[in-house]
């Protein structure tokens, strides 16, 4: 009988050694969004979501090994109970995959090795990593086909937390968030997008309808106790019919779930802010990419106005910009950075143009002889230096420009977590005011028109009252950290903003409760220790606990263990990540 081990690469993560670099950690915000913000950066480790989806959807008995140490991995191999081992990795972790495969070949040569994840796009991978098979494309169908199973069976959605070992100012976040893997790929197919090209520039839905997504939310709520979710989908709002169906299901069952999601500017504009607020979107990741208006998804859209409108209505915006595009020189790159900062998004990702194998832009640069073929794969992570010949920048310069861009954003607008708190309280006030105004004018939500329209005999909007309570709950999560935000502000302007936000919280929600005062004291205390650690070490890297999940049969009762770092905790704010269900 076949037995499959699905594993990510071994830790430690975020350290410079023979297998990787410190700037390639198993974190999203700290690594590439709130970089250079030090103690203000929320910290967490995101699970390998795709592995759980794969294990849940094959008949073959399987085990998922997430965040293993080298010892954890080798002990699993040495048990001698597996016929197949699937190793998931991204491009910079190919040397870790090589070491793991080599160990399997030496100590368990009968085991079949399957490679998966975005790292499989590396040219001539089989000459780098010893393997029997490479999983290309969508992983559930690939594995089912490989093991001779029915490829047309419906997808069973796993109950998966968003992250583990989550902290803010050194204080552990006890709240939980779930992950909804609604689909992979993106129809927009930007030339640089690894995810889009991995799935042949198509969108593949795992959850076809809004009812399917709602049912997955119910499952997560029942099994994980969560009402906040990260929608793992490259462009969730692109499927507007499905999104409307999801809202209809929540309204029917009086569930005011909250979501963070990826979406392109044109899809967000089409759906409208009223819909997004009603649905419970509290964070959107939008690729603004470039001031030069190079991409169809942003053409003709006033991004400044769009971002402000979203924030005024309580939706945190994470914008992302690409540096070292072909047209960039030492003058206009500063204009690009200033343009992105001027949008005043709550969070802002700067990422170097990443020429990843498998994408159109990789092929174009390769054909033009611009790629540095001998540049180490483990350094190709987009947060240090570029790995192609740019006419206007040297490699060391590219690293400096990137670091300085993050610092400029931080110095200009203060800590991202402070901006998120401001957006949350503004959104609550805006929603409360808008609801009262609509009731006075007898406006009612019309799902067909996707708008509030006048209706005789209109009744109070009970669902938006639920939504308002959910928005208040989301805002109140920031309150215990507000004084700490001010204490460690980078400058006078940020501190003044912090005091303004505290006043706004007090005006909106009344005096601070005893519970929040206690939590405030805890956060300030842990921040002292955290800040001292930063001063001494310059960096704090917590390693996530190994999580071993055994799928013995097709029932939903599986066993899970956490080792090394105590009980598993999940974040109260779900951080979106690129999660591809292809052994990734």
Are 320 and 288 in contact by the 8 Å Cβ rule? The answer is: yes
What is the residue-wise DSSP string for 280-297? TEEEEEEEEE-TT--SGG
Report, as an integer, the average pLDDT of 444-456.
Answer: 93
d(CA 393, CA 472): 47
Please, which residues have CB within 8 angstroms of residue 485's CB and are 6 or more apart in sequence? 40, 414, 415, 417, 418, 421, 498
Q: Domain coordinates of the chain in residue numbers? A: 3-155+547-563, 418-537
Angle at CA of residue 128, ends 123 and 134, nearest 5°: 65
pLDDT tens string 406-425: 999 999 999 999 999 999 99
d(CA 418, CA 478): 8
Q: What is the mean pLDDT of the chain?
A: 91
- pLDDT at 517 exceeding the cut of 50: yes
State residue 295's pLDDT score: 84
Q: Is the dihedral of CA 433, 434, 439, 441 positive or negative?
A: positive
State residue 239's pLDDT score: 87
The pLDDT > 70 percentage for the chain reads 95
Give, in order, the Cα–Cα distances in Å from 287 to each of 20, 26, 66, 131, 350.
27, 21, 29, 36, 10
- 351, 281, 348: which is closest to 309 by C-alpha? 281
188 three-state secondary structure: coil
State residue 51's pLDDT score: 97
Report, as an integer, the average pLDDT of 138-167.
Answer: 94
Count H helices, E strands: the chain? 19, 20
What band does 523 get if pLDDT is binned at 50, 70 and 90?
Answer: very high
Please, which residues have CB within 8 angstroms of residue 35's CB and are 6 or more apart in sequence? 41, 383, 403, 406
State residue 180's pLDDT score: 96
Are 311 and 423 in contact by the 8 Å Cβ rule? The answer is: yes
The alpha-helical segments, DSSP class H, found in 110-181 are 139-146
What is the DSSP-derived secondary structure letter of residue 161? Answer: B
Q: Is the dihedral of CA 74, 77, 79, 80 positive or negative?
A: negative
Q: From the centroid of its chain, how far is CA 184?
A: 13
State residue 573's pLDDT score: 26
- pLDDT at 152 exceeding the cut of 50: yes
Give this prediction's pTM: 0.92
State residue 553's pLDDT score: 59
- pLDDT at 23 exceeding the cut of 90: no
Tokens 């601070």 belong to 512
- pLDDT at 7 exceeding the cut of 50: yes
Please, which residues have CB within 8 angstroms of residue 305's CB and are 6 or more apart in sequence? none
Are 358 and 196 in contact by the 8 Å Cβ rule? The answer is: no
Give, in order, the Cα–Cα distances in Å from 3 to each of 52, 81, 126, 132.
15, 7, 23, 16
323 three-state secondary structure: strand
Report, as an integer, the average pLDDT of 557-566.
Answer: 45
Are 351 and 323 in contact by the 8 Å Cβ rule? The answer is: yes
Angle at CA of residue 129, ends 126 and 130, nearest 5°: 80
- 49, 260, 283, 45: which is closest to 167 by C-alpha? 45
Regarding beta strands 204-205 and 183-184, do their DSSP bridges make them parallel or antiparallel, or are they unpaired?
A: antiparallel
What band does 560 get if pLDDT is binned at 50, 70 and 90?
Answer: low
- 115 phi and psi angles, rounded to 5 deg: -105, 140
Could you tell me the two tokens for 61? 């008995």
What band does 567 get if pLDDT is binned at 50, 70 and 90?
Answer: very low
State residue 266's pLDDT score: 93
Report, as an integer, the average pLDDT of 140-155.
Answer: 95
Report, as an integer, the average pLDDT of 485-494.
Answer: 98
Could you tell me the two tokens for 89? 């990795």
What band does 575 get if pLDDT is binned at 50, 70 and 90?
Answer: very low
pLDDT tens string 67-125: 999 999 999 999 999 999 999 999 999 999 999 999 999 999 999 999 999 999 999 99
pLDDT tens string 246-298: 999 999 999 999 999 999 999 999 999 999 999 999 999 999 999 988 888 99
pLDDT tens string 37-68: 999 999 999 999 999 999 999 999 999 999 99
Could you tell me the two tokens for 481? 């950290």
The architecture (CATH level 2) of 3-155+547-563 comes to: 3-Layer(aba) Sandwich (3.40)
pLDDT tens string 187-226: 787 888 888 888 888 888 999 999 999 999 999 999 999 9
Bridge partners (DSSP) listed for residue 116: 88
Q: Is the dihedral of CA 222, 227, 233, 239 positive or negative?
A: positive
- The 10 Å CB-count burial string (b at 16+, else e) for 558-570 is beeebeeeeebbb
d(CA 60, CA 143): 9
What band does 316 get if pLDDT is binned at 50, 70 and 90?
Answer: very high
Report, as an integer, the average pLDDT of 487-500.
Answer: 98
């Amino acid at each position: 009988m076949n037995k499959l081990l699905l594993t990510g690469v071994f830790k430690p993560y975020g350290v410079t050694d023979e297998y990787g670099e410190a700037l390639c950690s198993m974190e999203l915000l700290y690594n590439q969004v709130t970089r250079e913000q030090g103690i203000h950066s929320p910290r967490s480790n995101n699970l390998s979501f795709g592995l759980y989806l794969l294990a849940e959807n094959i008949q073959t008995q399987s085990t998922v090994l997430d965040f293993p140490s080298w010892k954890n991995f080798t002990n699993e191999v040495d048990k001698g109970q597996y016929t197949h081992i699937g190793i998931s990795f991204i491009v910079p972790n190919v040397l870790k995959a090589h070491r793991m495969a080599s160990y399997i070949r030496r100590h368990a040569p009968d085991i079949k090795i399957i490679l998966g994840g975005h790292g499989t796009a590396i040219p001539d991978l089989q000459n780098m990593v010893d393997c029997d098979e490479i999983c290309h494309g969508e992983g559930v169908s690939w594995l089912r086909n490989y093991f001779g199973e029915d490829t047309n069976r419906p997808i069973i959605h796993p109950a998966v937390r968003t992250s583990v070992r989550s902290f803010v100012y050194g204080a552990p976040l006890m709240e939980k968030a779930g992950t909804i893997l609604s689909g992979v790929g993106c129809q927009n197919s930007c030339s640089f997008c690894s995810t889009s090209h991995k799935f042949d520039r198509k969108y593949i839905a795992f959850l076809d309808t809004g009812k399917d997504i709602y049912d997955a939310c119910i499952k997560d709520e029942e099994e994980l106790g969560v009402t906040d979710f990260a929608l793992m989908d490259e462009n969730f709002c692109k499927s507007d019919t499905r999104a409307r169906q999801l809202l209809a299901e929540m309204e029917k069952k009086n569930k005011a779930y909250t979501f963070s999601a990826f979406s392109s500017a044109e899809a967000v504009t089409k759906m409208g802010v009223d819909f997004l607020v009603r649905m419970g979107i509290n964070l959107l990741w939008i690729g603004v990419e470039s001031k030069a208006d190079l991409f169809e998804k942003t053409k003709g859209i006033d991004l400044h106005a769009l971002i402000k409108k979203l924030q005024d209505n309580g939706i945190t915006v994470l914008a992302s910009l690409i540096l070292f595009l072909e047209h960039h020189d030492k003058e206009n790159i500063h204009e690009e950075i200033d343009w992105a900062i001027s949008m005043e998004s709550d969070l802002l990702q700067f990422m170097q143009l990443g020429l990843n194998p498998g994408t159109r832009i990789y092929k174009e640069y390769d054909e033009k002889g611009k790629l540095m073929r001998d540049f180490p794969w483990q350094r190709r992570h987009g947060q240090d230096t570029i790995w192609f010949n740019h006419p206007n920048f040297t490699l060391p310069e590219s690293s400096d420009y990137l670091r300085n861009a993050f610092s400029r954003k931080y110095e200009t607008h203060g800590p991202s977590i402070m901006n998120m708190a401001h957006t949350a309280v503004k959104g609550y006030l805006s929603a409360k005011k808008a609801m009262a105004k609509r009731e006075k004018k007898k406006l009612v939500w019309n799902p067909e028109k996707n708008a509030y329209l006048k209706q005789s005999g209109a009744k109070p909007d009970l669902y938006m009252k639920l939504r308002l309570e959910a928005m208040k709950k989301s805002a109140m999560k920031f309150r215990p950290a507000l004084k700490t935000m001010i204490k460690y502000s980078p400058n006078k302007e940020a501190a003044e903003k912090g005091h303004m936000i505290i006043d706004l919280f007090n005006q909106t929600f009344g005096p601070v409760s005893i519970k929040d005062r206690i939590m405030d004291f805890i956060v300030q205390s842990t921040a002292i220790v955290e800040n001292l650690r930063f001063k001494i070490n310059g960096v704090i890297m917590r390693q996530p606990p190994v999580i071993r999940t055994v799928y013995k049969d097709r029932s939903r009762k599986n066993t899970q263990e956490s080792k090394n770092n105590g009980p598993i905790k999940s974040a109260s704010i779900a951080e979106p990540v690129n999660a591809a269900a292809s052994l990734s």
